[in-house]
């Protein structure tokens, strides 16, 4: 079956080069103290240094985390103490209080999927105890609380630009004292731009979308062979600047309607799929800029495989906690890791693409579909897909080596 490929990452239209540049960039890019690195983890590492954190200091970190932020802090030399989340994915106040010792310096909060934590409340809580508040808005660029941007409540805030716009990379940080400008060599970012353009084509044309969908499992298998499961947490060079293409394209892609468009798409999916949404994400706050739409099921990996047949690439995000987390002590965060996956909600989706997503989820989670085997496609179809995949993997690897 031919299907447009719809993924959670924003794509990059081919005509972006002819667009006018926006004269006003959103927070934190419009703040003189803002620094942009290649990735948010670099921004976190640098913020730890400008906040003056060191080996004697403890940061309280949520058990539900990506892993790269934890690795960045550990690499910056600070100690981590994990705290529990409530069932609404807020920091568990009682647990936080029980973790306080004189060497605790920072409360680290994460604005999950663009849904804001009550940052004002946590700032007050920190002020009352002489702590610093670190806001992780990696998934919440453009999210506001009462018209005030997240990331501006704390003593430091970090953001991922490429999660909201189809630029190759970009991790911004705002902190009490701005870090020095990143000093390593600037990369062009051409390969990632190409991939984002290709994704844009795959989102619009079913023939390209199907080709992409059929080659992805092979690529994943190929990558898995080469890497360990925690590789995605690696810090890399913390002085990496954003790529040249990110800085060139960012002013052309930012748009004051982005958050509202994402919210509109979220409401659309909420209307159709509300019964599958985990409780913390069942009501969208007014100023949120949702990064993705969460769906909770019993067997997330198998539903994700089925979704691919309808052209929808969801992700089981944050499946692996950072290895330093004693997972058995945090069953709630592990339940989210195992049961919740994310589907696209980005600003460029059309009504027909949103319908494709909603129908795909309904079909993939319907009882009739659940009974079918995921690998139930006939063998000739599989062989055709395999040949296509091999061709694309070779092509992909050749390009990778050239860049």
- Which value, to the nearest 10 degrees, does the dihedral of the CA atoms of residues 304, 302, 278, 85 take? -100
136 lies in the site for ligand PLP, by CB under 6 A: yes
CA separation for the pair 187, 296 (Å, rounded) = 38
- Least separation, in Å, of the C-beta of 387 and ligand PLP? 34
CA separation for the pair 106, 116 (Å, rounded) = 19
Q: Which residue among 4, 5, 35, 39 contacts ligand PLP (CB under 6 A)?
A: 39
Helix (H) or strand (E) holding 134: strand 132-137
110 lies in the site for ligand PLP, by CB under 6 A: yes
Q: How far is CA 302 from CA 8, 237, 315, in A?
A: 18, 36, 12
71 lies in the site for ligand PLP, by CB under 6 A: no
- Least separation, in Å, of the C-beta of 69 and ligand PLP? 4
116 lies in the site for ligand PLP, by CB under 6 A: no
139 lies in the site for ligand PLP, by CB under 6 A: yes
313 lies in the site for ligand PLP, by CB under 6 A: no
Looking at beta carbons only, is 139 or 265 nearer to ligand PLP? 139
- Least separation, in Å, of the C-beta of 345 and ligand PLP? 16
- Least separation, in Å, of the C-beta of 357 and ligand PLP? 21
From the list 270, 259, 340, the residue with the least C-alpha distance to 298 is 340
Looking at beta carbons only, is 117 or 356 nearer to ligand PLP? 117
Question: Among 61-69, 201-209, 301-309, 367-375, which window interacts with ligand PLP (CB under 6 A)?
Answer: 61-69
Helix (H) or strand (E) holding 247: helix 244-253
Largest CA distance in the chain: 66
Q: Which residue among 7, 8, 36, 40 contacts ligand PLP (CB under 6 A)?
A: 40
Looking at beta carbons only, is 272 or 339 nearer to ligand PLP? 339
Residue 320, burial from CB neighbour count under 10 angstroms (0-12, 13-18, 19+): middle
Q: Is the CB of residue 344 less than 8 Å from the CB of residue 251?
A: no
Looking at beta carbons only, is 138 or 254 nearer to ligand PLP? 138
Residue 148, token pair as written in the block? 């005030």
Q: Which residue among 4, 5, 35, 66 contacts ligand PLP (CB under 6 A)?
A: 66
Helix (H) or strand (E) holding 110: strand 104-110
138 lies in the site for ligand PLP, by CB under 6 A: yes
**Where on the chain is the footprint of ligand PLP (CB under 6 A)?**
39-41, 66, 68-69, 110, 136, 138-139, 160, 171
């Amino acid at each position: 079956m031919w299907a447009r490929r719809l993924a959670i990452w924003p794509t990059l239209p081919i005509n972006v080069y002819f667009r006018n540049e926006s004269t006003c960039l959103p927070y934190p890019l419009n703040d003189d103290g803002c620094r942009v690195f290649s990735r948010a983890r670099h921004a976190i590492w640098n913020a730890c240094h400008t906040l003056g954190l060191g080996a004697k200091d403890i940061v309280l970190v949520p058990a539900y985390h990506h892993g790269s932020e934890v690795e960045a802090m550990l690499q910056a030399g600070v100690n981590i103490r994990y705290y529990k989340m409530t069932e609404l994915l807020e920091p568990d106040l009682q647990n936080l209080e029980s973790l306080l010792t004189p060497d605790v310096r920072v409360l680290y909060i994460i604005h999950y999927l663009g849904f804001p934590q009550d940052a004002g409340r946590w700032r007050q809580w920190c002020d009352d105890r002489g702590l610093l508040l670190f806001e992780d808005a990696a998934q919440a660029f453009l999210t506001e609380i009462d018209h005030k941007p997240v990331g501006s409540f704390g003593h430091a805030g970090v953001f991922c630009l490429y999660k909201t716009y189809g630029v190759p990379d970009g991790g911004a940080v705002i902190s009490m004292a701005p870090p020095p400008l990143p000093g390593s060599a600037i990369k062009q970012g051409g390969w990632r731009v190409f991939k984002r353009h290709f994704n844009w084509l795959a989102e619009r044309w079913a023939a390209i979308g199907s080709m992409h969908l059929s080659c992805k499992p092979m690529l994943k298998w190929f990558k898995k062979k080469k890497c360990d499961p925690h590789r995605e947490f690696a810090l890399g060079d913390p002085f990496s600047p954003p790529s040249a293409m990110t800085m060139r394209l960012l002013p052309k892609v930012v748009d004051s309607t982005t958050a509202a468009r994402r919210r509109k798409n979220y409401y659309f999916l909420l209307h159709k799929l509300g019964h599958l949404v985990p409780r913390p994400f069942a009501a969208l706050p007014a100023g949120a800029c949702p990064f993705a739409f969460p769906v909770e099921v019993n067997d997330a990996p198998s539903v994700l495989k089925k979704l691919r047949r309808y052209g929808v690439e969801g992700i089981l995000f944050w499946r692996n906690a950072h290895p330093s987390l004693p997972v058995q002590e945090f069953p709630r965060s592990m339940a989210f890791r195992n049961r919740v996956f994310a589907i696209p909600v980005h600003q460029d989706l059309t009504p027909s693409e949103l319908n494709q997503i909603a129908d795909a989820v309904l079909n993939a989670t319907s009882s009739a579909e659940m009974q079918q085997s995921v690998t139930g496609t006939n063998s000739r179809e599989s062989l055709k897909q395999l040949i296509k995949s091999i061709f694309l993997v070779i092509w992909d690897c050749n390009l990778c080596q050239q860049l």
